[in-house]
Amino acid sequence: MTRIGFYHLTRWPLEDALPRLLEKVLAAGLRVVVLAGSPERVQSLSDRLWTYQPDSWLPHGSARDGEAALQPVWLTNEEENPNGATVLVACDGAVPTAIDGFDRCLDLFDGTDPQAVAAARLRWKQWKEAGHVLTYYQQSESGGWVEKASTETAS
Protein backbone atom coordinates (compact mmCIF):
# COMPACT_ATOMS: atom_id res chain seq x y z
CA MET A 1 0.00 0.00 0.00
CA THR A 2 1.29 3.44 -0.98
CA ARG A 3 0.28 6.72 0.63
CA ILE A 4 -0.81 9.03 -2.19
CA GLY A 5 -1.15 12.77 -1.76
CA PHE A 6 -3.10 14.72 -4.36
CA TYR A 7 -1.78 18.28 -4.61
CA HIS A 8 -4.29 20.63 -6.23
CA LEU A 9 -2.25 23.54 -7.63
CA THR A 10 -4.37 26.68 -7.48
CA ARG A 11 -1.94 29.50 -6.55
CA TRP A 12 1.35 28.50 -8.13
CA PRO A 13 2.26 26.68 -11.33
CA LEU A 14 4.11 23.36 -11.09
CA GLU A 15 7.44 25.11 -11.72
CA ASP A 16 7.04 27.02 -8.45
CA ALA A 17 5.33 24.36 -6.31
CA LEU A 18 7.57 21.41 -7.22
CA PRO A 19 10.85 22.83 -5.86
CA ARG A 20 9.21 23.62 -2.52
CA LEU A 21 7.79 20.12 -2.19
CA LEU A 22 11.13 18.59 -3.21
CA GLU A 23 12.89 20.65 -0.54
CA LYS A 24 10.62 19.05 2.09
CA VAL A 25 11.26 15.55 0.77
CA LEU A 26 15.03 16.08 0.78
CA ALA A 27 14.91 17.68 4.25
CA ALA A 28 13.32 14.44 5.48
CA GLY A 29 16.35 12.55 4.11
CA LEU A 30 14.36 10.84 1.36
CA ARG A 31 15.09 10.26 -2.31
CA VAL A 32 12.56 11.05 -5.02
CA VAL A 33 11.72 10.28 -8.64
CA VAL A 34 9.80 12.96 -10.54
CA LEU A 35 7.74 11.48 -13.37
CA ALA A 36 7.06 14.16 -15.99
CA GLY A 37 4.96 14.03 -19.13
CA SER A 38 7.70 14.30 -21.78
CA PRO A 39 11.48 14.51 -22.30
CA GLU A 40 11.09 18.23 -22.97
CA ARG A 41 9.30 18.70 -19.66
CA VAL A 42 12.09 16.79 -17.87
CA GLN A 43 14.61 19.27 -19.27
CA SER A 44 12.42 22.25 -18.42
CA LEU A 45 11.99 21.08 -14.82
CA SER A 46 15.71 20.37 -14.54
CA ASP A 47 16.50 23.90 -15.67
CA ARG A 48 13.99 25.27 -13.15
CA LEU A 49 15.50 23.32 -10.23
CA TRP A 50 18.83 25.06 -10.89
CA THR A 51 17.31 28.54 -10.98
CA TYR A 52 14.08 28.64 -8.94
CA GLN A 53 15.75 30.80 -6.26
CA PRO A 54 18.81 33.00 -6.74
CA ASP A 55 20.59 31.63 -3.67
CA SER A 56 19.72 27.93 -3.80
CA TRP A 57 19.35 24.89 -6.01
CA LEU A 58 18.18 21.32 -5.62
CA PRO A 59 20.59 18.47 -6.33
CA HIS A 60 19.07 16.45 -9.15
CA GLY A 61 19.73 14.68 -12.40
CA SER A 62 18.15 12.95 -15.38
CA ALA A 63 19.17 10.48 -18.07
CA ARG A 64 20.93 13.37 -19.80
CA ASP A 65 23.19 13.77 -16.73
CA GLY A 66 23.67 10.10 -15.83
CA GLU A 67 24.90 8.84 -12.45
CA ALA A 68 21.33 8.02 -11.39
CA ALA A 69 22.36 6.21 -8.21
CA LEU A 70 24.04 9.40 -6.95
CA GLN A 71 21.06 11.68 -7.54
CA PRO A 72 18.69 12.40 -4.62
CA VAL A 73 16.13 13.72 -7.15
CA TRP A 74 15.76 11.89 -10.46
CA LEU A 75 13.74 13.53 -13.25
CA THR A 76 12.33 11.23 -15.89
CA ASN A 77 9.46 10.64 -18.28
CA GLU A 78 9.88 6.85 -17.96
CA GLU A 79 8.65 4.55 -15.23
CA GLU A 80 11.89 3.83 -13.42
CA ASN A 81 13.54 4.14 -10.03
CA PRO A 82 17.28 4.16 -10.70
CA ASN A 83 18.14 6.14 -7.55
CA GLY A 84 16.34 3.88 -5.06
CA ALA A 85 13.73 6.53 -4.25
CA THR A 86 10.91 5.94 -1.77
CA VAL A 87 8.91 8.94 -3.01
CA LEU A 88 7.38 9.35 -6.46
CA VAL A 89 6.13 12.71 -7.72
CA ALA A 90 3.82 12.45 -10.74
CA CYS A 91 3.07 15.62 -12.69
CA ASP A 92 1.73 16.69 -16.09
CA GLY A 93 -0.97 14.04 -15.79
CA ALA A 94 1.64 11.26 -15.93
CA VAL A 95 0.05 8.13 -14.50
CA PRO A 96 2.44 5.51 -13.16
CA THR A 97 1.23 1.96 -13.70
CA ALA A 98 3.13 0.65 -10.68
CA ILE A 99 3.49 2.64 -7.47
CA ASP A 100 3.82 -0.25 -5.03
CA GLY A 101 7.60 0.16 -4.82
CA PHE A 102 7.19 3.64 -3.32
CA ASP A 103 6.15 4.56 0.22
CA ARG A 104 4.67 7.86 -0.95
CA CYS A 105 3.35 9.25 -4.20
CA LEU A 106 2.62 12.95 -4.74
CA ASP A 107 0.19 13.59 -7.58
CA LEU A 108 0.48 17.25 -8.60
CA PHE A 109 -2.21 18.61 -10.89
CA ASP A 110 -3.19 21.99 -12.32
CA GLY A 111 -6.36 23.14 -10.56
CA THR A 112 -6.99 25.76 -13.25
CA ASP A 113 -7.34 23.10 -15.96
CA PRO A 114 -10.76 21.36 -15.87
CA GLN A 115 -9.40 18.35 -17.76
CA ALA A 116 -6.52 17.94 -15.30
CA VAL A 117 -8.98 18.13 -12.38
CA ALA A 118 -11.28 15.53 -13.97
CA ALA A 119 -8.31 13.22 -14.63
CA ALA A 120 -7.15 13.61 -11.00
CA ARG A 121 -10.64 12.65 -9.78
CA LEU A 122 -10.47 9.52 -11.90
CA ARG A 123 -7.02 8.63 -10.49
CA TRP A 124 -8.37 9.20 -6.95
CA LYS A 125 -11.20 6.75 -7.60
CA GLN A 126 -8.92 4.12 -9.16
CA TRP A 127 -6.29 4.30 -6.43
CA LYS A 128 -8.92 4.30 -3.70
CA GLU A 129 -10.38 1.10 -5.18
CA ALA A 130 -6.86 -0.36 -5.25
CA GLY A 131 -6.64 0.14 -1.47
CA HIS A 132 -4.10 2.98 -1.25
CA VAL A 133 -4.33 5.62 1.48
CA LEU A 134 -5.23 8.92 -0.16
CA THR A 135 -5.03 12.52 1.03
CA TYR A 136 -6.17 15.57 -0.88
CA TYR A 137 -4.35 18.89 -0.38
CA GLN A 138 -5.30 22.26 -1.79
CA GLN A 139 -3.12 25.35 -1.91
CA SER A 140 -3.99 28.12 0.54
CA GLU A 141 -3.92 31.82 -0.34
CA SER A 142 -0.29 31.95 0.85
CA GLY A 143 0.68 28.92 -1.28
CA GLY A 144 0.89 26.45 1.61
CA TRP A 145 -0.99 23.17 1.68
CA VAL A 146 -4.26 22.50 3.50
CA GLU A 147 -5.55 18.95 3.89
CA LYS A 148 -9.13 18.81 2.62
CA ALA A 149 -9.89 15.07 2.51
CA SER A 150 -8.41 11.68 3.38
CA THR A 151 -9.39 8.04 3.01
CA GLU A 152 -7.44 7.10 6.14
CA THR A 153 -9.73 6.10 8.97
CA ALA A 154 -8.97 6.55 12.63
CA SER A 155 -8.15 3.32 14.38
Query: What's 85's domain CATH number?
Result: 3.40.50.10110
Residue 155 scores a pLDDT above 80: no
Domain assignment of residue 54, yes or no: yes
Q: What is the mean pLDDT of the chain?
A: 93
Phi then psi for residue 98, to 5 deg, are -130, 115
Q: Is residue 131 a part of any domain in this protein?
A: yes
Look at residue 155 and tell me if it is in a domain. Answer: no
**Number of domains the chain is built from:** 1
Report the distance separating Cα 16 and Cα 152, nearest Å.
29
| Dist. CA 133–CA 123, nearest whole Å | 13
CA angle 51/32/18 to nearest 5° reads: 40
Q: What is the model's pLDDT at position 61?
A: 96
Host domain of residue 32: 3-150
Q: Is residue 36 part of a domain?
A: yes
Note the pLDDT of residue 49: 94
Q: What's the confidence (pLDDT) of residue 153? A: 62
Among candidates 88, 82, 84, which has minimal Cα distance to 104?
Answer: 88
pTM for this prediction: 0.94
Report, as an integer, the average pLDDT of 54-79.
93
